[in-house]
Amino acid sequence: MPADLSPVLIAGALIGGYLLGSIPFGVIATRLGGAGDVRNIGSGNIGATNVLRTGRKDLALITLLGDGGKGAVAVLIAWLATRDGPKEAQAALTSLAAGAAFLGHLFPVWLKFKGGKGVATFFGTLLAAAWPVGLAAGATWIAMAFLFRISSLAALTAVALAPIYAAFVFDRPLPIAWLSLFMGVLIYIRHKDNIRRLLKGEEPKIGGKKDAAPQDAPAP
Protein backbone atom coordinates (compact mmCIF):
# COMPACT_ATOMS: atom_id res chain seq x y z
CA MET A 1 0.00 0.00 0.00
CA PRO A 2 1.48 3.42 -0.96
CA ALA A 3 2.80 5.40 2.00
CA ASP A 4 0.92 8.47 0.74
CA LEU A 5 -2.37 6.93 1.84
CA SER A 6 -3.32 7.62 5.43
CA PRO A 7 -5.22 5.08 7.51
CA VAL A 8 -8.15 7.51 7.58
CA LEU A 9 -8.37 7.60 3.78
CA ILE A 10 -8.10 3.83 3.54
CA ALA A 11 -10.77 3.28 6.20
CA GLY A 12 -13.03 5.86 4.56
CA ALA A 13 -12.68 4.20 1.15
CA LEU A 14 -13.44 0.75 2.55
CA ILE A 15 -16.34 1.70 4.80
CA GLY A 16 -17.83 4.31 2.49
CA GLY A 17 -17.47 2.09 -0.57
CA TYR A 18 -19.08 -0.84 1.20
CA LEU A 19 -22.05 1.22 2.42
CA LEU A 20 -22.60 2.67 -1.05
CA GLY A 21 -22.41 -0.78 -2.61
CA SER A 22 -24.88 -2.12 -0.06
CA ILE A 23 -27.71 0.07 -1.37
CA PRO A 24 -30.16 -2.52 -2.82
CA PHE A 25 -31.53 -0.61 -5.80
CA GLY A 26 -33.48 -3.62 -7.07
CA VAL A 27 -35.39 -3.96 -3.82
CA ILE A 28 -35.95 -0.21 -3.50
CA ALA A 29 -37.08 0.22 -7.12
CA THR A 30 -39.57 -2.65 -7.09
CA ARG A 31 -41.07 -1.67 -3.76
CA LEU A 32 -41.42 2.03 -4.56
CA GLY A 33 -42.57 1.16 -8.07
CA GLY A 34 -45.40 -0.99 -6.77
CA ALA A 35 -43.98 -4.26 -8.11
CA GLY A 36 -43.52 -5.92 -4.72
CA ASP A 37 -40.28 -7.34 -3.35
CA VAL A 38 -37.99 -8.54 -6.15
CA ARG A 39 -36.67 -11.26 -3.82
CA ASN A 40 -40.08 -12.94 -4.12
CA ILE A 41 -40.07 -12.79 -7.92
CA GLY A 42 -38.46 -15.07 -10.49
CA SER A 43 -35.04 -16.25 -9.37
CA GLY A 44 -35.13 -14.09 -6.24
CA ASN A 45 -32.03 -12.15 -7.28
CA ILE A 46 -31.94 -8.40 -6.60
CA GLY A 47 -30.31 -7.47 -9.92
CA ALA A 48 -31.75 -5.82 -13.02
CA THR A 49 -32.30 -9.09 -14.90
CA ASN A 50 -34.65 -10.37 -12.25
CA VAL A 51 -36.32 -6.98 -11.85
CA LEU A 52 -37.13 -7.19 -15.57
CA ARG A 53 -39.24 -10.28 -14.81
CA THR A 54 -41.73 -7.98 -13.11
CA GLY A 55 -42.53 -6.70 -16.59
CA ARG A 56 -41.32 -3.21 -15.64
CA LYS A 57 -38.51 -2.17 -17.94
CA ASP A 58 -38.30 1.19 -16.21
CA LEU A 59 -37.59 -0.42 -12.85
CA ALA A 60 -35.01 -2.74 -14.43
CA LEU A 61 -33.25 0.26 -15.97
CA ILE A 62 -33.25 2.10 -12.65
CA THR A 63 -31.75 -0.97 -10.99
CA LEU A 64 -29.10 -1.37 -13.68
CA LEU A 65 -28.04 2.27 -13.47
CA GLY A 66 -28.17 2.27 -9.68
CA ASP A 67 -26.11 -0.89 -9.27
CA GLY A 68 -23.52 0.32 -11.74
CA GLY A 69 -23.61 3.91 -10.53
CA LYS A 70 -22.99 3.17 -6.87
CA GLY A 71 -19.65 1.56 -7.73
CA ALA A 72 -18.76 4.50 -9.96
CA VAL A 73 -19.62 7.00 -7.21
CA ALA A 74 -17.39 5.14 -4.73
CA VAL A 75 -14.52 5.34 -7.22
CA LEU A 76 -15.18 9.03 -7.92
CA ILE A 77 -15.09 9.96 -4.23
CA ALA A 78 -11.80 8.08 -3.77
CA TRP A 79 -10.40 9.75 -6.89
CA LEU A 80 -11.32 13.20 -5.60
CA ALA A 81 -9.68 12.43 -2.25
CA THR A 82 -6.37 11.63 -4.00
CA ARG A 83 -6.55 13.90 -7.06
CA ASP A 84 -3.49 15.90 -5.94
CA GLY A 85 -1.46 12.85 -4.91
CA PRO A 86 0.71 10.35 -6.79
CA LYS A 87 -0.95 8.20 -9.46
CA GLU A 88 -0.02 5.03 -7.57
CA ALA A 89 -1.85 6.21 -4.45
CA GLN A 90 -4.86 7.23 -6.51
CA ALA A 91 -5.04 3.86 -8.25
CA ALA A 92 -4.73 2.04 -4.93
CA LEU A 93 -7.45 4.04 -3.15
CA THR A 94 -9.90 3.95 -6.06
CA SER A 95 -9.40 0.19 -6.34
CA LEU A 96 -10.03 -0.27 -2.63
CA ALA A 97 -13.21 1.80 -2.81
CA ALA A 98 -14.36 -0.09 -5.91
CA GLY A 99 -13.68 -3.48 -4.35
CA ALA A 100 -15.50 -2.47 -1.17
CA ALA A 101 -18.53 -1.28 -3.18
CA PHE A 102 -18.52 -4.56 -5.06
CA LEU A 103 -18.49 -6.52 -1.81
CA GLY A 104 -21.30 -4.33 -0.52
CA HIS A 105 -23.45 -5.28 -3.49
CA LEU A 106 -22.76 -8.99 -3.05
CA PHE A 107 -23.12 -8.92 0.74
CA PRO A 108 -25.33 -5.92 1.68
CA VAL A 109 -25.68 -5.34 5.39
CA TRP A 110 -29.29 -4.16 4.90
CA LEU A 111 -30.34 -7.52 3.41
CA LYS A 112 -28.59 -9.80 5.89
CA PHE A 113 -25.61 -10.04 3.53
CA LYS A 114 -27.64 -11.67 0.75
CA GLY A 115 -27.07 -9.64 -2.41
CA GLY A 116 -26.73 -9.87 -6.15
CA LYS A 117 -24.33 -11.41 -8.63
CA GLY A 118 -22.37 -8.23 -9.22
CA VAL A 119 -22.18 -7.84 -13.01
CA ALA A 120 -23.64 -4.32 -13.21
CA THR A 121 -21.50 -3.13 -10.29
CA PHE A 122 -18.46 -4.74 -11.92
CA PHE A 123 -18.97 -2.68 -15.08
CA GLY A 124 -19.77 0.50 -13.17
CA THR A 125 -16.63 0.34 -11.05
CA LEU A 126 -14.39 -0.53 -14.01
CA LEU A 127 -15.75 2.25 -16.18
CA ALA A 128 -15.03 4.73 -13.40
CA ALA A 129 -11.67 3.33 -12.29
CA ALA A 130 -10.24 2.59 -15.75
CA TRP A 131 -12.65 3.49 -18.54
CA PRO A 132 -10.68 1.81 -21.38
CA VAL A 133 -10.82 -1.48 -19.49
CA GLY A 134 -14.51 -1.00 -18.74
CA LEU A 135 -15.29 -0.21 -22.38
CA ALA A 136 -13.32 -3.22 -23.61
CA ALA A 137 -15.12 -5.50 -21.16
CA GLY A 138 -18.45 -3.98 -22.20
CA ALA A 139 -17.64 -4.51 -25.88
CA THR A 140 -16.77 -8.11 -25.08
CA TRP A 141 -20.13 -8.59 -23.40
CA ILE A 142 -21.98 -7.10 -26.38
CA ALA A 143 -20.07 -9.24 -28.89
CA MET A 144 -20.62 -12.47 -26.96
CA ALA A 145 -24.29 -11.67 -26.34
CA PHE A 146 -24.76 -10.98 -30.06
CA LEU A 147 -23.03 -14.21 -31.09
CA PHE A 148 -24.45 -16.64 -28.53
CA ARG A 149 -27.51 -14.86 -27.08
CA ILE A 150 -26.61 -16.02 -23.56
CA SER A 151 -26.24 -13.23 -21.00
CA SER A 152 -24.32 -15.22 -18.40
CA LEU A 153 -21.80 -16.48 -20.98
CA ALA A 154 -21.27 -12.93 -22.20
CA ALA A 155 -20.72 -11.67 -18.65
CA LEU A 156 -18.37 -14.50 -17.69
CA THR A 157 -16.27 -13.97 -20.81
CA ALA A 158 -16.03 -10.21 -20.24
CA VAL A 159 -15.10 -10.75 -16.60
CA ALA A 160 -12.40 -13.28 -17.47
CA LEU A 161 -10.78 -10.95 -20.02
CA ALA A 162 -10.94 -7.78 -17.90
CA PRO A 163 -7.71 -8.46 -15.92
CA ILE A 164 -5.91 -9.18 -19.20
CA TYR A 165 -7.19 -5.93 -20.67
CA ALA A 166 -6.06 -4.06 -17.56
CA ALA A 167 -2.59 -5.57 -17.22
CA PHE A 168 -1.49 -6.22 -20.80
CA VAL A 169 -3.66 -4.37 -23.29
CA PHE A 170 -4.05 -0.97 -21.63
CA ASP A 171 -1.16 -1.20 -19.14
CA ARG A 172 -3.21 0.12 -16.24
CA PRO A 173 -1.71 0.37 -12.74
CA LEU A 174 -1.40 -2.98 -10.98
CA PRO A 175 -4.22 -2.28 -8.45
CA ILE A 176 -6.69 -2.04 -11.35
CA ALA A 177 -5.68 -5.46 -12.64
CA TRP A 178 -6.01 -6.93 -9.15
CA LEU A 179 -9.40 -5.27 -8.75
CA SER A 180 -10.58 -6.82 -12.02
CA LEU A 181 -9.34 -10.24 -10.95
CA PHE A 182 -10.87 -9.93 -7.47
CA MET A 183 -14.30 -9.02 -8.82
CA GLY A 184 -14.04 -11.65 -11.55
CA VAL A 185 -13.36 -14.50 -9.13
CA LEU A 186 -16.34 -13.53 -7.00
CA ILE A 187 -18.60 -13.23 -10.05
CA TYR A 188 -17.62 -16.72 -11.16
CA ILE A 189 -18.44 -18.04 -7.69
CA ARG A 190 -21.82 -16.29 -7.74
CA HIS A 191 -22.54 -17.71 -11.19
CA LYS A 192 -21.81 -21.32 -10.26
CA ASP A 193 -25.37 -22.38 -11.11
CA ASN A 194 -25.19 -20.60 -14.45
CA ILE A 195 -21.86 -22.29 -15.21
CA ARG A 196 -23.38 -25.68 -14.42
CA ARG A 197 -26.27 -25.00 -16.81
CA LEU A 198 -23.88 -23.74 -19.49
CA LEU A 199 -21.91 -26.97 -19.30
CA LYS A 200 -25.14 -28.94 -19.65
CA GLY A 201 -26.40 -26.75 -22.49
CA GLU A 202 -29.39 -25.72 -20.39
CA GLU A 203 -28.71 -22.02 -19.85
CA PRO A 204 -31.59 -19.95 -21.30
CA LYS A 205 -30.92 -17.50 -24.09
CA ILE A 206 -31.63 -13.79 -24.08
CA GLY A 207 -35.31 -13.27 -24.80
CA GLY A 208 -36.12 -16.92 -24.14
CA LYS A 209 -38.21 -18.40 -21.35
CA LYS A 210 -36.52 -19.10 -18.05
CA ASP A 211 -37.53 -21.35 -15.21
CA ALA A 212 -38.38 -19.04 -12.34
CA ALA A 213 -37.38 -21.48 -9.63
CA PRO A 214 -35.79 -19.79 -6.61
CA GLN A 215 -32.74 -22.08 -6.70
CA ASP A 216 -31.43 -20.13 -9.70
CA ALA A 217 -30.54 -17.24 -7.44
CA PRO A 218 -27.16 -16.91 -5.76
CA ALA A 219 -28.97 -15.38 -2.83
CA PRO A 220 -32.70 -15.02 -2.09
Phi/psi at 108 (5° precision): -70, 130
Predicted pLDDT at 2: 63
Per-residue confidence band for 42, with pLDDT thresholds at 50, 70 and 90: confident
For a pLDDT cut of 90, what percent of the chain falls above it? 84
Predicted pLDDT at 82: 93
Predicted pLDDT at 156: 98
Q: Is the pLDDT of residue 219 over 90?
A: no
Would you say residue 193 lies in a domain?
A: yes
Would you say residue 140 lies in a domain?
A: yes
Q: Is the pLDDT of residue 105 over 80?
A: yes
Q: Is the pLDDT of residue 209 over 70?
A: no
**pTM of the full predicted structure?**
0.90
In angstroms, the CA 154 to CA 129 distance is 21
Cα angle 160, 137, 178 (rounded to 5 degrees) comes to 55
In angstroms, the CA 206 to CA 192 distance is 19
Would you say residue 212 lies in a domain?
A: no
Residue 40 one-letter amino acid: N
Would you say residue 128 lies in a domain?
A: yes
Q: Stretch 49-75: mean pLDDT, rounded?
A: 95
Phi/psi at 47 (5° precision): -85, 175
**Structural domain range at position 111:** 7-207
Residue 71 one-letter amino acid: G
For a pLDDT cut of 70, what percent of the chain falls above it? 92
Domain count, the chain: 1
Would you say residue 214 lies in a domain?
A: no
Would you say residue 89 lies in a domain?
A: yes
Would you say residue 217 lies in a domain?
A: no
Q: Is the pLDDT of residue 215 over 60?
A: no
In angstroms, the CA 155 to CA 172 distance is 21
Q: Which 8-state DSSP code applies to residue 203?
A: P
Q: Is the pLDDT of residue 139 over 90?
A: yes
Would you say residue 165 lies in a domain?
A: yes
Predicted pLDDT at 97: 97
